[in-house]
Amino acid sequence: MSDLVRRFDKNPILTKDDIPYPVETVHNAGAVKHDGRYVLLFRSHRRTGRSIIGLADSDDGFAFRVHPEPFLEPANDGAFAEYEEFGVEDCRICPIDGAYLLTYSAYSRHGVRIALASTKDFRQVERIALITQADARNVVIFPEKFDGRYVRLDRPHSEISPWSIWISFSPDLVHWGDSKVVMKPVQYHWDEMKIGPGATPIKTDRGWLHIYHGVFPTMDGSVYRLGVALHDLKDPSRIIGVGDEWILQPQDPWEVTGYVHNVIFTCGAIPEDDGTVKIYWGGADEVMCAGTARIDDLVNLCLDHARPAF
Ligand code: BMA
């Protein structure tokens, strides 16, 4: 099968040289279209080794302009400060109810948990709540409610099970429950070590398409790749199919070598009216890359070349 994702020919789209304040990396960006413009909320390491979130925007989804100041830095006071002490990472963006929900990893001496914030204009941002205990990462919220409830995919950590994708429900975005596991790594498979939610799910006529990451352990360390899963339109806890093959693996020099080698990690993808999707990913935890795929091809992979969800 030919490559389902076509890399943009001018990758990487952002490097640390594009950032107007001192950082060592620019990667793992959440993505959304706002007022016809493409917006990225990317992660950058400071030289302390701790991360902040920056903002970039673009007319065409490929040429981005970075805003002069960081968008979100660890809180200095209030309820969030204690849990953001070690940095904020890997922000996802969910457009819903006329606003954008932001879910990001908050790191501290207590572990990693997920913080929820909201913005309407990407200027003002309001922190709402810490919505998981430690340890959990990679929360993506579906951009629609189901039977009046918000739904998210999340990834709690476990010492017993390989890290898996769970689903949780909420009436108010703050209190979450009815959690259950929906998808697990498959043994001796490209995602056998751990999996986690990636981009905010995309609605298609055949189901919710979720681009996730999977990790394989090698003698040379872990390899991070992307795969796809399709969730039922009405009941997102039901997985219709998981593509057996990865859709993207480290290949370009800036994906194979960098801050952490052999990493492709997504936090955002933007569906277009022409049936394509722009996928954004961090290369080797150091640069931002982009590519396009046909949504139908990704859905077909879930349906025609499926591996079990468990
Ligand atoms: C994960 C997270 C991601 C990162 C990946 C590869 O555990 O820290 O932010 O991209 O590892 O280093």
The length of the chain in residues reads 310
Q: Is residue 3 part of a domain?
A: no
- What is the reported pLDDT for 281? 99
Question: What is the reported pTM?
Answer: 0.98
Query: Which domain does 120 fall in, by range?
Result: 10-307
Q: Residue 83 above 60 pLDDT?
A: yes
Q: For the chain, how many structural domains are there in total?
A: 1
Q: Is residue 150 part of a domain?
A: yes
Instruction: Give me the long-range contacts of 164-170 (CB less than 8 A, separation at least 24).
Output: 164/194, 164/195, 165/195, 165/196, 165/197, 165/212, 165/229, 167/236, 167/237, 170/131
| Distance separating alpha carbons of residues 95 and 98, to the nearest angstrom | 7
Counting ligand 1 atoms within 8 A of each CB, the residue from 24, 28, 52 with the most, and so the one to mutate, is 28
Q: Is residue 146 part of a domain?
A: yes
**Unique residue bearing structure tokens 């992979």:** 301
- Please report, rounded to a whole number, the percentage of residues in the chain having pLDDT higher than 70: 99
Using pLDDT thresholds of 50, 70 and 90, give the confidence band for residue 168.
Answer: very high
Q: Is residue 301 part of a domain?
A: yes
Q: How far is CA 74 from CA 69, 91, 115, 121, 310, in A?
A: 14, 13, 11, 20, 36
| Distance separating alpha carbons of residues 27 and 86, to the nearest angstrom | 18
Closest of 244, 134, 150, 232 to residue 189, by C-alpha: 244
Using pLDDT thresholds of 50, 70 and 90, give the confidence band for residue 89.
Answer: very high
| Distance separating alpha carbons of residues 12 and 68, to the nearest angstrom | 20
Q: Is residue 1 part of a domain?
A: no
Q: Residue 1 above 70 pLDDT?
A: no
For residue 43, the ligand 1 atom closest to its alpha carbon is 9
For residue 282, the ligand 1 atom closest to its alpha carbon is 10
Q: Is residue 2 part of a domain?
A: no
Q: Is residue 93 part of a domain?
A: yes
* Contact residues of ligand 1, CB 6 A cut-off: 28, 89-90, 224, 260, 263, 265, 282, 285
For residue 260, the ligand 1 atom closest to its alpha carbon is 12
| Distance separating alpha carbons of residues 156 and 165, to the nearest angstrom | 8
Domain containing 288 — which CATH number?
Answer: 2.115.10.20
Q: Is residue 4 part of a domain?
A: no
Q: Residue 231 above 90 pLDDT?
A: yes
